Structure 1
């Protein structure tokens, strides 16, 4: 018998005013996996999470968590989930242990049980030494770990993480990645929205790319990269004018474009015949290309192939939110690209 999904959405629709954010989204998340939602700003990632977490009502479609309908069974859904947003929702004036004990009491634990749960989570998230300090003294990474710990007080089976590492330095981000990986290994289902493509590549068992309010592609990071091009050919051009000419010539095949470095990149299967054909197409006289690099494709390439935009493009409008008052804290929007971690073949022409 097939294992029922931990999270399932069928034909979700959601419109804010005249803006259609979800236009028939289908999603299935298996238990004990990390499922990453990627997409440009406005693709519907946060709206999807809000619907699954019972904070927003869809206009049409169905969604279930652990088999419970998010509309009919809101109480049962909320008892099984945790939602952590972009910014820590903890009390700066209290200590770490006080925050966790308070969350335990709010979750219905007795006083002694709340103390035990707080101590266990402080140990689990490497915060024992900081537990007696007020949160205002914590670093960004420590605050995010405490925020995630607070979301686990009720021992949820499904955790929604909405861009959890926004604003963290690289070391803190990697520390939180380790925590998320440990949660999945322990059997917790994690639904992660992120604009850090390296984060999805590193953590996710399955990546779902949203575009235009629906699912554009889904699969393991390796499968998606293989599907949209196993490798990428980057061309360093001699003149600035060559960049736009080559870009027009290659059209939709271009997945990387850097005028300042005079570079254009295109997905390739990595075979010598195809690379030779591309070089002949772009530079038939042998005077336009001064250097080429062949490297393993990244999720950046997949993202651009599906959405028509680089992951770092700031031009997309942000996802409309509900009428609930929001914090006036500015929201950082700069996305980070995944770094090329595979070996590269470089040649000067």
Structure 2
């Protein structure tokens, strides 16, 4: 985790009508880091991620990814990024193998590499099953495989475990740890405080479009003299955390 940061965001802002979804966000993510943006639903996490990724144009401010501006979108930069959106978006009526091979072809990646990625996420036995017949956890693993098939340096995960049962969540956590251990920078948004506490090197606690505090989970908990990140949120906002 040395050298120039993987991400540097400066004074990002985005408004939708009367709602200031992102309000002056600054953050820096180190290369090789597992970084979490956490907060309750409606905190502005997804919009912040979309601005950083270059999926949306900010009203003001800027973001640099791997030293390059994220907006306007740069096709060469996009090849270095892996993005898993909050809702999986697959091609209709394709099997798991067909899905990942189709995504791979967009990056000129061969079938052998695509099939190896399917095996890596534990879906080889489901290769001939259509995506609409997969369980929630299996669909999330397929979505992650599609985001990783071109071997990106920087991976964005927007609430990847929402709606999964506890066992499926833990299985996905193991896979996310492996992805990070291989040297990739991982940025995760989540409203599950326990998830951020377990997975992340550092977290940005977010609410109402603003980042309230950044630091390693254990250090934030120690700083406020509490037991959990939910308690940190309470100290920062004066209200209980609600997922």
Q: Distance in 1 between matches of 2:75 and 2:137?
A: 31
Aligned partners of 2:54 and 2:73 also within 8 Å: no
- In the TM superposition, structure 1's runs of 4+ consecutive aligned residues that sit over 6 Å from their partners are none
| TM-aligned CA deviation for residue 123 of structure 1 | 1.6
Partner of 1:97: 97
Partner of 2:237: 307
Aligned partners of 1:12 and 1:24 also within 8 Å: yes
* Cα distance change, pair 99–17 in 1 and its aligned pair in 2 (3 A): same
Residues 223-257 of structure 1: CA distance to partner in whole angstroms, max 9, x if unpaired? 00001114xxxxxxxxxxxxxxxxxxxxxxxxxxx
| TM-aligned CA deviation for residue 54 of structure 1 | 1.0
Partner of 2:17: 17
Partner of 1:196: 192
Q: Distance in 1 between matches of 2:51 and 2:95?
A: 32
Q: Distance in 1 between matches of 2:147 and 2:41?
A: 25
Aligned residues: 242
More helix by share: 2
Give the alignment of 1:223-242 within 5 angstroms.
Answer: 223-230=219-226
TM-score (norm 2): 0.94
Q: Distance in 2 between matches of 1:147 and 1:40?
A: 23
Q: 2:166 aligns with which of 161, 164, 170?
A: 170
Rg (Cα) greater in structure: 1
Residues 2-47 of structure 1: CA distance to partner in whole angstroms, max 9, x if unpaired? 5111111011111112222222111001111111101233322111
RMSD over aligned Cα atoms: 1.5
Aligned partners of 1:53 and 1:77 also within 8 Å: no
Determine if the alignment matches structure 1 residue 137 to structure 2 residue 67. Answer: no
Q: Which runs of 5+ in 2 are unaligned?
A: none
Higher relative contact order (CA 8 A, sep 6+): 2
Name the SS for the 1:129 alignment partner.
helix
Q: Distance in 2 between matches of 1:42 and 1:133?
A: 35
